[in-house]
Each structure stands twice: as C-alpha cells, then as structure tokens.
C-alpha cells in the first residue's frame, strides 16, 4: 500500500487555532486538514445544531413540490411514494410515507423489483400507479434520468415529483418538480445530500407549512443517518448534522424496526461504522435476495412482535446473501486467473447464473484482490446487467461514458455505477472499457493508498487526544477517522495470529521505551514475520478503544505495517 502523509498546514494557522481553542498542535493540525480553521467553524463541527440545517426552500422547485402535495391532499388524491431497492431508497420511502401517513391516509409505497424491473422508475411502476388510481408519484433516490417514464406517466395524467441526488443527464424529466441539488440551475448551499436527505428536506418544507418545527422531525433522523452511512456520501455540512442527531436517535429512541434489528445483533451502542456494517447490509439484503418492500415493511412497522418477524426474515436474507457473495467471489477470482487477466487495468467478469443481488458486493470484493476498476456482469432477461466499482481517485462513471456506444443504459456515481448491455456487446464493451481506463488512469491509482494525517510519537497519545478524536465523530468521507504513522515500533514478544487460520495480527507495541500499547491488525496475519524477534517496524494506525470484560484500554487499530 502507498502511505501518503498529508501536507502539514502552515505553522501560523496551527498556532492561531491552538490559541483560539486551547488545544495542542496535533489537534489543530487534524482540524485544519478537515477544513476547520476558525473558532466558529470548530464550534459548528464539535457542537452540531439542527438550526445549522439550511432552509429547504432554497432548493430549486421545493415550493412547487410542496404546493402539489398540498393540492393532492386537498383533492383527496392517491399518492404513491416510489423508491429504489437499496438502503437509501428504502429508508427514503419509509421516511416520506410514514410522515405523510401521520396526517393523510391515501398514501402507498412502491419499490421496484430488482430482477423484473431493474433500477429506478419503471414503466411497470407507472402502470401500477394507473391501475390503482394514483395521480401523484413521488420518486426518491431515483428518477433524475427517467425522462421517458415521466413522459409516459404524464400521458396517463399522473404527475411526478422527483427527489434525487444523482447527476442529471442532458435533459431533466418533465416532472412537476425536480428536487436535486446537483441540477446546474439549483443554488442550494449543499449538494452532497443522499436520496433520503433530499426526502428529509421535503418533509422539512411540508412541516414548516403545518406549524411544525425541526424538533418534530427528529424521530425520522434514524432513517437519514442510516442512508448517509450506507450511501457513503461526504460526512460534511448538513450530512454530518443529520448523521450526528440520527445516531442519537438510533441509540436512544430508534423506531421499532431498528430496535428489532439491534436486539438480534445484540449491540447496545452503535457508531456510524456499526450502522454501515450491521444495519445497512440487513436492509440491503431484502432487495438483493427477495424484494425491497420487506425493508420498507420493517422500517415502518409500529408493532414490536410483527417487527421481530420481519427482522428475522431479513436476518435470513442477509445470511443467504453472505453465502452467495463468498461463492461468486471465488468463481470470479478463478475466472480472472484462468483467463490470465491479472495484469490488466480492469476486471470485467461475467457468468449468466450469478445472482444479480450480490454482484455489486462481489465487485468490491474483487477490488480487495485486484485493485482496479471492476465490473461484474450477470444475465438479466435478454440483456446483461453489471455493477461497477472503482478505486480511489478514478471516475468510473466518466469511463463508462467513454464506452456508451456499447451500453444500453447506465447511471450512478464516481465510484459506483450500474449498466445494462446486449449480450453480443459484452466482448466489445470489455475491450473498450480496458482501452478507456488504460489510457486515462494514473498508474499510481492502481496501488491502494492510505492517507496519513500525521506522524506521531507514543508520548503524544494522551487521554485528551483520544477524547477529542471521539468528539470528531461521526466519521465518513470528508471527515475520516484520523490515521497516524509510527516508526521504530517493537513488539514485546507476544505477537500472534488470531482468528480463523491466524487471519488477524494481535500484538503489544512499545516505542522508545514507552508503552506497551495493545494493537490489532485485521487481515494482517501474514505480516507476523515482520514483527517477531524484536525487529523494529513502522505502522499506520488509528486510535481505538478495546472493551473487554468491563475494562476499557487504548488499542492501535493497525491499517498496514512495514
């Protein structure tokens, strides 16, 4: 791995912040590296307030969206809340539908089937709305490119409101309102909200017309925080405020559905990392293995006994998903080796029987072995469907645009996308994707990077440092957990491999006679020879707390060592 030490800020900036905040230079450095340079910015960062959220009516079309929903309620229209089948989509649908149902009964939900309809707004979904008398569809976490579907709906006298956060295409759909801060003509101050975040801005706007305040909407923030974590949007600005308060809801008064999941996993206090790796995969598993509506049912359930039944079903989906994911990853790695494709700039693999619900996870797993832009294809009806994943610093969405003549349709983000193509286009696409990536990627991006905030001595690791770092949470893109580098480290002689087949590395470390400090390196068991026989080594790590049998101790969470 590449260890890249971030540039140290100007000393005068560090000195100013040290004086203003009464902190040492290391803390000041960490804050400046996160764009926090003044007392007021630090106050907002460490003490987020719901009053820091922007006025929802600053978003283009918000006033139009609110008026159309008010008109629908006044005219007793049926409203269909429509969302994608992933965590962001299902939490968005649960959020808006449960809010509207709190004061208006004619509201139903619709999640497209991953296998028969695919991603986003579908013609089938519009037909469902027509057949069941819905005159307004509110699409969340999808719809920004559904130009033909929205036109189709309009011909049936069905209106659309779109709440999305993906990049728009050349033309916007002809909807009543299009809420998306990434629109060129939208001046909303923050454009990194997830789909559920846009949905929250809509209920914030609706609530303001009903005499409600932001405090009345706090119970919905557990959904928003989960979507923010799962969708890997920047943990900055409004996202950080929403995640901060949403985590408080999850840990104090979660909705019944979350409570049922938390009881199953037996984890009393959840961090944003726990939300990403414990809650989110279970919600996602519903849409991957059977249908996303199961997740909406769980997240909107108000009866604990029924929620436990839904949660048990979702636990089973997640168990099955893990087995498939492992099996397909093994087959995909074998395919790369058998085709002698280890030295390519890309990984593009295909099998007609691979489960469409896990190919995105498999693409991420392949990157752990072959660190390069990756696509995993499977059969989907008469076409092939793929999930794309990228490496840090490379825009896979732009690369796909360079292959558009081979593709039927695609959409997504810089680091994750989905596409479909005709079966006969697979080999031409594979060749074109390799060509586009090989000609545009900087070769150093093909070596995984660890960005290091600062080099540190054990003498600098104090209880105050640990305490302040904990207060910097929730962590995520744009506010990652601080990572440090230490040199001249020695194991005390007790280093060993732990876990199945010694997969993980456990040791106790000293530096210049200070310590020892316990350390754990997940998936670093093969580095054991580097630290034995009192050989000095360097390591990259974050600071963690190990809680065991009622005792809490400092622990280094090793990321890499050499």
pLDDT at 88: 96
Mean pLDDT of all residues belonging to the chain: 95
- Which residue ranges does the chain devote to CATH 2.40.50.460? 450-561
Whether 550 shows a pLDDT value over 80: the answer reads no
Token digits for 151? Answer: 């036109």
- Which residue ranges does the chain devote to CATH 3.10.310.30? 339-446
Whether 496 shows a pLDDT value over 90: the answer reads yes
Cβ-contact 238, 54 below 8 angstroms: yes
pLDDT at 34: 93
| Backbone dihedral angles phi then psi of residue 41, each to the nearest 5 degrees | -65, -40
d(CA 279, CA 284): 9
pLDDT at 460: 94
Which ranges constitute the DSSP H helices of 191-303?
A: 195-208, 221-230, 237-252, 256-265, 272-274, 280-289, 293-300
pLDDT at 111: 97
Token digits for 84? Answer: 């994608």
**Mean pLDDT, to the nearest integer, of 191-195?**
96
What is the rounded end-to-end Cα distance, in angstroms, of the chain?
10
Three-state secondary structure readout of 109-144: EECCCCCCCCCCCCHHHHHHHHHCCEEEEEEECCCC
Q: Which of 123-132, 255-264, 548-557 has the lowest mean pLDDT?
A: 548-557
Confidence of residue 119 (pLDDT cuts 50, 70, 90): confident
**Mean pLDDT, to the nearest integer, of 39-63?**
96
d(CA 219, CA 216): 7
Strand-pairing partners, residue 508, are 518
Render pLDDT for 295-316 as a digit per residue (tens, 0 to 9): 999 999 999 999 999 999 999 9
Render pLDDT for 314-370 as a digit per residue (tens, 0 to 9): 999 999 999 999 999 999 999 999 999 999 999 999 999 999 989 999 999 999 999
pLDDT at 114: 86
Confidence of residue 539 (pLDDT cuts 50, 70, 90): very high
d(CA 3, CA 561): 10
Cβ-contact 292, 90 below 8 angstroms: yes
**Mean pLDDT, to the nearest integer, of 47-69?**
97
Where are any strands of DSSP class E within 48-117? 78-83, 107-110
Element (H, E) at 28: helix 25-33
Q: What is the DSSP letter of 236?
A: S
Domain 56-313 falls in which CATH fold?
inorganic pyrophosphatase (n-terminal core) (3.90.1640)
d(CA 19, CA 23): 7
- 511 contact partners, CB below 8 Å, separation of at least 6: 457, 458, 486, 487, 488, 489, 490
Whether 72 shows a pLDDT value over 90: the answer reads yes
Which CATH number applies to 450-561?
Answer: 2.40.50.460
pLDDT at 118: 82
Domain 339-446 falls in which CATH fold?
Diaminopimelate Epimerase; Chain A, domain 1 (3.10.310)
Q: Which of 14-18, 429-433, 549-553 has the lowest mean pLDDT?
A: 549-553
Q: What is the DSSP letter of 57?
A: G
Render pLDDT for 396-438 as a digit per residue (tens, 0 to 9): 999 999 999 999 988 877 888 999 999 999 999 999 999 999 9
Confidence of residue 545 (pLDDT cuts 50, 70, 90): confident
d(CA 32, CA 42): 10
**Mean pLDDT, to the nearest integer, of 539-545?**
94
- 123 contact partners, CB below 8 Å, separation of at least 6: 149, 152
- Which residue ranges does the chain devote to CATH 3.90.1640.30? 56-313
Tally DSSP H helices, then E strands, for the chain: 20, 19
pLDDT at 115: 83
pLDDT at 546: 80
């Amino acid at each position: 791995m590449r260890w890249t030490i971030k540039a140290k800020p100007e000393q005068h900036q560090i000195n100013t912040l040290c004086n203003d905040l009464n902190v040492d230079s290391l803390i000041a450095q960490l804050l400046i590296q996160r764009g926090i340079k003044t007392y007021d910015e630090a106050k907002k960062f460490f003490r987020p307030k719901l009053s820091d959220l922007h006025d929802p009516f600053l978003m283009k079309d918000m006033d139009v969206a609110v008026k159309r929903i008010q008109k629908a309620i006044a005219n007793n229209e049926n409203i269909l809340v429509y969302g994608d089948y992933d965590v962001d989509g299902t939490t968005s649908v649960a959020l808006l539908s449960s809010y509207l149902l709190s004061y208006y009964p004619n509201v139903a939900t619709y999640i497209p089937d991953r296998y028969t309809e695919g991603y986003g707004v579908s013609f089938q979904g519009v037909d469902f709305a027509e057949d069941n008398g819905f005159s307004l569809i509110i699409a969340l976490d999808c719809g920004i490119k559904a130009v033909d579907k929205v036109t189709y709906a309009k011909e049936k006298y069905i209106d659309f409101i779109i709440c999305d956060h993906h990049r728009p295409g050349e033309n916007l759909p002809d909807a009543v309102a299009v809420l998306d801060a990434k629109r060129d003509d939208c001046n909303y101050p923050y454009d990194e909200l997830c789909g559920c975040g846009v949905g929250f801005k809509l209920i914030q706007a609706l609530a303001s017309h009903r005499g409600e305040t932001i405090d009345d909407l706090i119970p919905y923030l557990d959904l928003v925080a989960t979507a923010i974590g799962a969708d890997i949007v920047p943990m900055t600005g409004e996202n950080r405020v929403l995640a901060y308060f949403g985590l408080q809801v999850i840990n104090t008064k979660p909705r019944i559905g979350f409570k049922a999941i938390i009881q199953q996993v037996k984890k009393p206090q959840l961090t944003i990392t726990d939300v990403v790796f414990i809650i989110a995969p279970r919600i996602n598993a519903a849409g991957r293995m059977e249908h996303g509506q199961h997740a909406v049912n769980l997240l909107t359930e108000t009866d604990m006994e029924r929620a436990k039944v839904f949660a048990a079903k979702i636990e089973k989906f997640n168990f099955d998903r893990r087995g498939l994911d492992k099996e397909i990853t093994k087959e995909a790695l074998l395919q790369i080796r058998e085709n002698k494709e280890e030295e390519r700039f890309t990984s593009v693999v295909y099998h007609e029987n691979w489960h469409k619900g896990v190919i995105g996870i498999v693409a991420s797993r392949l990157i752990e072995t072959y660190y390069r832009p990756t696509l995993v294809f499977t059969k989907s009806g008469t076409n092939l469907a793929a999930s794309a994943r990228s490496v840090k610093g490379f825009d896979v969405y732009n690369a796909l645009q360079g292959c558009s003549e081979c593709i039927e349709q695609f959409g997504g983000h810089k680091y994750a996308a989905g596409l479909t193509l005709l079966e006969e286009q697979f080999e031409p696409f594979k060749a074109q994707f390799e060509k586009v990536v090989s000609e545009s990627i900087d070769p150093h991006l093909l070596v995984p990077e660890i960005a290091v905030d600062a080099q540190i001595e054990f003498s600098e690791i104090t209880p105050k440092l640990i305490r302040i770092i904990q207060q910097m949470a929730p962590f995520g893109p744009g506010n990652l957990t601080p990572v440090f580098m230490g040199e001249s480290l020695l194991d005390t002689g007790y280093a060993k491999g732990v876990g199945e087949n010694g997969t993980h590395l456990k040791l106790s470390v000293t530096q210049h006679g200070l310590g020892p400090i316990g350390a754990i390196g997940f998936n670093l068991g093969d580095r054991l020879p580097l630290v034995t026989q009192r050989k000095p080594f360097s390591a990259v790590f974050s600071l963690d707390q190990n809680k065991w049998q009622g005792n809490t101790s400092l622990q280094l969470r090793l990321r890499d060592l050499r």
